[in-house]
Each structure stands twice: as structure tokens, then as C-alpha cells.
Structure 1
């Protein structure tokens, strides 16, 4: 799962890199076809390059194994207890697996957008189903009755001929033929698929918009070469903007940003030396490979002979060393050797290993001849340090055995984090904490913050009756004086229309400022809450260790402590659910606001449509 998240992060980073390169260097250039292939190459590179990994192996000499004599003096009647810095607990505390949560959220979003993709295909099929198709050359023309924007889908070109004059229809068809002839539908579908795969990344939606906009630039540029009156073509673009219905996953003749399309139609051809901008991405890709795609592996040279359990002897002691790479069979051989040669019972359990088959956790329990029991436990996310079983023999032939960890030179004590060594009589209570001492107290879990949910300001009121009326177009488009006057009146009309935009714009800014302030407060509270939860988890680990060594795993006190911990974790889960509920309510409120804004925009468009209908009736009159 970690590998999947790393791939998604790398691919998203590459998509962002290509988008910014296009946005800052290429979007104003007129190399439209080159930009098309640049944007497509960016998408393909983002999913291929993360799999290209160069492995660099560095061979190092193995660390020398040095066995020094161990002088061990057994001390009777000494007992050792764990320090609060120990992190050992046989039962892992409850914690949320954020990897699974993230995967579930990603899967839900992926499924939702896949369903939307299927619905769009169904809608497209509904438009084409049962319609009369006219085959001309390599194109299939479909004349429909619905009031939809003209579009192309592979070799299909769909339009409503009753809405346009013959000259306008010719401009539209030339435009859509370019889309169909150059297979622009493939670009649309690829960009849509990437939006589904990386739906959580806002850059991919901007990337898709850039692809669609560049395709329109290509079609406009090629169509204008075949049309003698370029100005009439531009008026056709303005006329098509009145259409409200568009079919998804197709190339629409109508697109937003009509002004940009007209500007690009009238822009001078970019100079050829500007092509260097396409190669500016290469150094950035090289830096990406050097930083993230080179894996260095250090390997030790093989020793002539290896034995993971090393036995070292001197005059009075015998040492059995256990390392991180000791196998399960070698551990069994160790227990059998101690039992056979020295009649010593030693039990090794709770062995855990990582992906490299290295030991990360182990528990060694040993009962001495004097009835004392010693336990050593090591648990870590990394491989364990070396530990040893030390067998000492005095002058009279008496044997004493002890467990020590790496770095110990004398007595078995707590030597480092994640290592617990305890030496006590098997049937005795802990002499330090004792049965009469106060039982450890479980820490209380912190309370999760709630996202602020105060009411939002109301939408601004707009008087639709005060909206200006659009000027009437001259009946003769070739009358230059009348057309100049009409263009001047249209400019004044647009200026008056812009006077209605500040109210909605100011309202949006007000909402953004309120949500930014609330989000900042909530994020700060969440940071404090996460710090408190980390402290709580650390205290719970200490509590579990204290309970285990004071009462034992099977005692009622330990069981009660675990129940209290489970109760606290249920409260934590409840707090998180309340937090999620508050966030869902917040999202619901924002959707309602967005719905109100869309309704207000719809009213504005309806008003404009009514005005145009009124203008059409006046012309007939």
C-alpha cells in the first residue's frame, strides 16, 4: 500500500511539473500542435517515469566480529523493574490505520467519477441513437432537433442546422472537421481518464482544461485558414455561446473563454526560436530522476563462514550470541543445546520479523537453578540489537546463566529504549512496587475539536428588471458604418452587464475569507489534538507495561486496565465520528451555497435569453 501512495505522489508531482511548464512558458505561444503533444507526453510520462528506477549497489566490507571475555559476577536477591522509557507491550494499542482510510476515500472518489464517466457515455449514446446519419467522405453528419452545442465524437459531427445560417453552419462544420480529422476525441478521453485516476489533485482538472482549450485553438486555427471571412467566423463563436447544453466526453464547438480563442485567432505566429521552451522540462525531469528514482543498496561482502549464533568461550564463561539475522532453526538449536549440555530451560517466543527477514521483536524467558526467572524483551520497528546468553562457571563448578544486551558489561539492566530486562523470583510479587502500592492510573484520552459551524451571510439581492437591454444587430452585416455602431453599442452593453458582477464577486470573497478563518482555527485545534493524542498513546504504552509487570497478564487488575483503555479508545472513536459528522454538515452547507449561486447564474442567463428573444421578435416586427 505504501508503494501505491508513493506512486500516486510521484505521478501527481510530475503532472504538476508539466502543467506549470505549459502555463508559464507555452500557453501564449501559437505552436498549438506541439503543445498538444507536449501535454499528452506529460500525462504518459507521469505514469511511466515513477516505475523507472536505477539501482546502485555499493559493496562494503562486513563489520568485524570481536568477542571479548565477559566477566560476570552474579548478585543474589537483586530485582530489576522496567523504566518508564521502555516501549514494550505485547498487545499493540488501538490506532486508526490512516493508510486504509486514505485508500477507502480514494476508492470512493474513483468509483464516483467512474459512474459519472459511464453516465456521460450513456448520454452521448442517447443523443446519437435513432438519428439519421449522412456519410460524406470520412465524416458522419448527424442533424438533430435538440438545442445543443455542435460537437464531434471521433468521425461523428452533431449539430442543429435550424439554429444557424448557411455561412455560420459552414464555419461550424469546418471547425468540427478538424476535431474529427485529428482524432481530438482521444485527447479528451485520455484527459478524462487521468481526472478519474487523480481526482483528488486539483492540478489534473486544470491540466484537462488546458488540453481542451488547446484543442479548440488548433481547430480554430485550421478552420480559419479555409474560411475567407475570419471576422464572420468570430461572430459565429459569439453566437454559439448562447447554448447551455453540452454533451460530455466530446469536442464542443462551444467552449468557455471565447475571448481567449478570439485573441489567439488574431495573434501573430510565434517565432521559431521559442521552441526552446519545450525543452526546458528536460532538466526538471533529470532532477526528478536523480532525487527520487535512484535507489542505493549497500551490501556486505560474504564472509568465508557464517554462523548467526556465535559461541565464544574463555576460562570461566561461555557466550551464545543472537543477532538480527538469526533463523528460527538456530534459535531452536540454541534452546536444545542449553538443555542438553547444561540442563538449563530457556524459552524463546514472540519472534517477529520484517520484510528483510530480520528479527524486530523477541522475548526470551529463562529459569535459573536458584529458582529466579529472568525475561528479556525487545520490540522495535527496526531490526533488534545483538543480545547474548552468558553462562558463567565458578571455581567449584557451579553454573550461573544471564541474559545481556549489546552494550552491557556487568549486570542485566534496562540498557536502551525498546529493551526490557526483568530479574525476579517467579512466584514473588514485585518487591519495589509491591501489592500494597497504588495501582497505575490509565491516562484520559483528549477530546477532538469540532469545525466551526456558524451561519453564513445571505446572498446579495439583484434586481433583474434593471438589467440593460442588448443592442439590435444591423440587418446588413456588410454595412461597415452600422457594424461599427453595433460593436460600440455591444461594448457599452457589456460594460453595463459587468456592473452586476461585483455583488456576487464580493459575496464570494466574503465567503472565502470566512471559511479561511474558520479553517485556520480548526487546523490549529487539530494540530494541538494530534499532539495530545501522541502523548496519550505514549502514556498508554507506559501504563500497559506497568500493569503487566505489577499484576501479570492474567490478573483482574491488568484486565480492568485494558478495559479502561478500550473504553477511552471507544470515546476517541466517537469523537472522530462526531468530527466527521461536523465536516459532512459543513460540506452540505457549502453545496447548498453553491446551488444558490448556480440558481442565481441560471436566472441571469434566462434573463439574457429572454432579452434576445425579445430582440428577435422586434426584428420580425
Structure 2
């Protein structure tokens, strides 16, 4: 479940990167075909790159071997203990993962059903229609009041809705869509919208792709039409339509003003192609930050044999809930025989599963003070036991439990009490968890004001007369149209100085941000290495089954979750900054 959510987050982030690159750098360029492949590459990169994971191996020095058994958790010297078995606290937790998955599934299935309905509607339009084959195209003249659209090599239109010249312009436009297989782009885009329906960027991405496809068709169709102005009239005469087929390109899909502006815009200079390559360092940074898995491997211990010979001998007796009376007897005999320690077991109680629920163990040695472990309750006991260490010929006896008992407590009929007699607590200090580095913030600041930003002064296109056979009205309309186009030319500002200022500011901020990110990546590598060392050290020192190891791992996971929260907050801050830039751009260059 977690892997699915991580994939969705990474894919969404990649979509944001590609869309921002297109919106801020490429949207006003006339590289329409290159923009098409750039946007499609963004879709497939967001789907594939999250699965590409590189492995980085970090070699670490071997952790020192602990003299305690890996099952030893709590060691109290010369003490008398009555301890409790920690009870699990029953609580009701809402599993948000399943709730989010359910919400996602509802949206996914809803859009999938709508996709199927749209296909059915398309087949209904084409069913039993007369098809006229011309070259590589199949023309279908329908009677339904539906906007013209291409579907692979089919071009569908209603000839009764247009004049001969308008129909010619429309067919040239739709031929470009059909010839360049724009239907494939639309279908791929529709699939991504179903998969990432929750991400608002995918809907903005959809608008950008469909709009760019219209730019391609307009640009290619205008080359084949002798009267370029008449083609623009066709765009302006018919600006809306009541009905269209949802899964196809239709003739009225883009904003007419922007299409006219792009038709009259000069071709972009080839040197501006560098903007496509700006996405490469961003993708590299994404891979370095999120697609590299660090694995810690311990160096070979050359002096292991020598260290083993110098280690302090350790003897451990562990009492589990399923330990039998015979095994307890054998433990007592072995302690007496090997270490001259008296072990007396009493107050043994078992449940219906023959598990120990109560036990008292008294140990005594002539040179040591007496010690005892006593457990009593309604549930099976936790593991407990005895550690005997030998150093310089002297034996030291310690008791151990699977839980640290810091103060008296009562939980579920179990009483925990510590009564120190002699000696001190020999519990070794736990290694300190390393502190994760802080994520750098993307530099922010004011942006320059674009010229001619007052969109309210832009003229509105004239409305075509309802009766197109009215020559007087049509003549008046053409005069108004000529005036409109003339006024529109004054609203094409020289944005080169403004774009240069924005590019310089953004390049400076990106350079500063990349330096901070490089430092952060180095710090993260060190942090990951330190965490791996800590994990190995804790496992070797206390054992995977120990309470200290469990507590340490919880603390480690907490730190990692905090780090992940910081990353998400950082991504949110960057997204908010990008949205602010988009807002400024819309205010200054809205056509």
C-alpha cells in the first residue's frame, strides 16, 4: 500500500516538473512539434522513472561485539525484582491508507466508465454511415449537429453547417490531426487522466497538450491555404459549439485568441532550443534524491579471531512462556554444576495452553548477594532469564527481562516493583541517533512586471451575422474583423527583455538552489550511512527481539517519518512558489 502511494507521489511530482518547464519556458515558442514530443515524454517519464532504482553500497566499519547476549535487554546488578508483562493497549485506529485507496478507486472507476461511454457514443456516430475514401483519409458526412473531428484516418463533419470555403479550411485542419495521429495523443492523455485524476496538474497538462495539437494543425493547415486571413475568419466565426465527441480533437477546442496570436507570431529562433534541456538536470536531481537506495555493508573483520579470544565469556539461561518443568530443573542443575550457583524455582502456574503465567526464581552464590525474579498474572509471561559473565576468573550474576522497568506500575493485574539492594544498573547507554539534515528552501522573491499586462483593454472579436447570405451584414462584419485584427496586432508585446530578466533571475535562483541541494545530498548520504551503522550496532548490541532495539527502531522510524514530512513540506513550498509564478505569468501575458 505504501509503495503505491509513493509511486503516485513521485509520478505526480514528475508531471509537475515537466508542466512547469513547458509553461514557463516553451509555451510561447513556435516549436509545436517538439513541444508535442516533450509533453508526451513527460507523461511516460512520470510512469516509468519511479520504477528505476539505483543501488549505492556504503561500506562501514564493523561494530564492536557486545559481551552481552543479543537477547539481553535489561540488566540489573544485585537486585530483587517483581516485574510485569507489558500489556497491549487496545485502541481503534483509522486506516487512512484504505480510505484514500477507496477514494482513489471511486474516482478511477468513475472516469473509466465515462471513457467507455464516450467510446460507445463515438461508435454510435460512425455506425452505418457512408464513408468516402480519398487517398489516406476516410470522410464521413453526418447529419448530427456535432463539431467536426478526426478519429485516426476518419474525418467526420456536417457539411450543411458550413460554407464551401469554411469546410475546406476545416478539412485541411482535420487532415493534419489525422495524418499526424493526434488521436493517439488524445487516447494516451485520457488514460493518464484516469490514472492521475486526483492531481490537478494532469488536467492542466491535458489542456496544454490539446492546445498544442491545435497549434500544430493550425500551423500546417495555414501553409496549405492560400488565404491565411480567411482561415482566421473561420476560427473567429465559429467559436463555440453545443456538441462534440469527448475523446477526439474537435475544431473548437482551443482558445481562439491564442490560436490567432500563435498563427501570426514569428517563428522562434533555433537557439531557444536550449530550453528543452533544462529538464535534464532537474531529472538528475530527482534520481539522486529519490531513486538511489543506500545499502550498508560491513567491512571484513580481520581481527575477529583475536578479539573473540579476548572476549569475556557469557552464559545465558532464558526462561520462556513454554519452558517445561523438566527444562527448569535441568537449568538449575547446570548452573550448580558449571558455576556453583543455586537456582530455586517456585510458585509455578500455567494456563490451559500449558504456558507459564507465574514463576519465581531465586539465585544465590556464596560471593554474591541473593537475587530473585517473580512474575504473577493472568497472561503468559514474557521472556526472562539469568546472565553469568566471567572476567579475570570472577563470575558476575545479573538478571534480565524483555522490558525496562523504571518505576513502580500496575497494568492488567501485573505489579512491577524494583528494589535495589547493592550495586548499580549496568544497562549500557544506547547509541544516539544521528540528526537528519534540513532541506534547503527554493529561493523566492519578486518577479519583474511584464509589459502590456492590462488584459481588460483587449478588443473582443466581432460576432458573425446569423444570416450569412446577407451581403450588407457580411460586408460590415468583414470591416469589423479587419479592424479587430489590426487592433490585435498592437497587443503582441515585445516580451524579449522581460523574458531575459525572468530567465536571468530564475537561472540565478536555480544555481543557488542546486548548490544547496548538492550539500544536502552529501549530508543525506552521511545521514543514511550513520543510520545504517546505528541499526547494525543496535541489533548486535541488544538483539532484534529486545525492547531497546524495538524502541530504537521506533525512534529511527520516527526520525525518517519526520524527514519525509519535511520533504513533503518542501515539495509543497516549491509547488506554491511555482503557482505564484504561474499567477504572475497569467496576469502579465494572458491572451
Normalised to the residue count of structure 2, the TM-score between the two structures is 0.59
Partner of 2:38: 38
Distance 1:194 1:388, change over 3 A: farther
Q: How does 1:38-437 map to 2 (within 5 A)?
A: 38-67=38-67, 74-76=78-80, 79=82, 88-301=86-299, 318-319=315-316, 340-342=330-332, 367-369=359-361, 373-374=374-375, 389-390=386-387, 402-404=399-401, 414=405
Question: Is the Cα–Cα contact under 8 Å of residues 25 and 275 in structure 2 kept in the other structure?
Answer: yes
3-state SS of the aligned residue for 2:399? strand
Distance 1:334 1:30, change over 3 A: farther
Shift, 1:120, TM fit: 0.6
Larger mean CA deviation between 363-372 and 197-206 belongs to: 363-372
Shift, 1:392, TM fit: 9.2
Instruction: Name which of 452, 476, 484 aligns with 2:479.
Output: 484
Distance 1:300 1:166, change over 3 A: same
Normalised to the residue count of structure 1, the TM-score between the two structures is 0.56
Question: Is the Cα–Cα contact under 8 Å of residues 224 and 230 in structure 1 kept in the other structure?
Answer: yes
3-state SS of the aligned residue for 2:234? helix
3-state SS of the aligned residue for 1:120? helix
Shift, 1:300, TM fit: 2.7
**Post-superposition CA distance 1:45-91 (Å, at most 9, x none):** 11111111111112223312242799965545x64679xxxxx5425
Aligned residues: 403
**Post-superposition CA distance 1:495-521 (Å, at most 9, x none):** xxxxxxxxxxxxxxxxxxxxxxxxxxx
Which runs of no fewer than 5 residues in structure 2 stay unpaired?
A: 334-344, 363-371, 378-382, 391-395, 419-461, 488-591
**Distance (whole Å) between structure 1 residues aligned to residue 389 and residue 358 of structure 2:** 15
Q: How does 1:538-553 map to 2 (within 5 A)?
A: none
Distance 1:375 1:52, change over 3 A: farther
**Post-superposition CA distance 1:179-238 (Å, at most 9, x none):** 000000000011111000000000000001100000000000000000000111111112
**Distance (whole Å) between structure 2 residues aligned to residue 136 and residue 347 of structure 1:** 94
Distance 1:21 1:428, change over 3 A: closer
3-state SS of the aligned residue for 1:157? strand
Question: Is the Cα–Cα contact under 8 Å of residues 365 and 374 in structure 1 kept in the other structure?
Answer: yes
Pairwise CA RMSD:
4.7
Partner of 2:519: none
Which runs of no fewer than 5 residues in structure 1 stay unpaired?
A: 83-87, 323-329, 350-362, 377-385, 394-398, 406-411, 433-468, 493-621
Question: Is the Cα–Cα contact under 8 Å of residues 364 and 375 in structure 1 kept in the other structure?
Answer: no
3-state SS of the aligned residue for 2:144? coil
Shift, 1:102, TM fit: 0.8
**Distance (whole Å) between structure 1 residues aligned to residue 161 and residue 413 of structure 2:** 97
Partner of 2:20: 20
Partner of 1:530: none
Distance 1:164 1:369, change over 3 A: closer
3-state SS of the aligned residue for 2:138? strand
Shift, 1:163, TM fit: 1.0
**Post-superposition CA distance 1:467-492 (Å, at most 9, x none):** xx957479569998873256559999
**Distance (whole Å) between structure 1 residues aligned to residue 195 and residue 350 of structure 2:** 48
**Distance (whole Å) between structure 2 residues aligned to residue 232 and residue 3 of structure 1:** 55
Shift, 1:428, TM fit: 9.2
**Post-superposition CA distance 1:336-394 (Å, at most 9, x none):** 96653326699999xxxxxxxxxxxxx99772345962389xxxxxxxxx99632599x
Distance 1:313 1:152, change over 3 A: closer
**Distance (whole Å) between structure 1 residues aligned to residue 218 and residue 325 of structure 2:** 82
Question: Is the Cα–Cα contact under 8 Å of residues 76 and 400 in structure 2 kept in the other structure?
Answer: no
Partner of 2:431: none
**Post-superposition CA distance 1:549-606 (Å, at most 9, x none):** xxxxxxxxxxxxxxxxxxxxxxxxxxxxxxxxxxxxxxxxxxxxxxxxxxxxxxxxxx
Shift, 1:19, TM fit: 0.3
Question: Is the Cα–Cα contact under 8 Å of residues 389 and 397 in structure 2 kept in the other structure?
Answer: yes
Distance 1:490 1:373, change over 3 A: same
Distance 1:414 1:244, change over 3 A: same
Give the number of the structure with larger relative contact order, counting CA–CA contacts within 8 Å between residues 6 or more apart. Answer: 2
**Distance (whole Å) between structure 1 residues aligned to residue 416 and residue 63 of structure 2:** 41
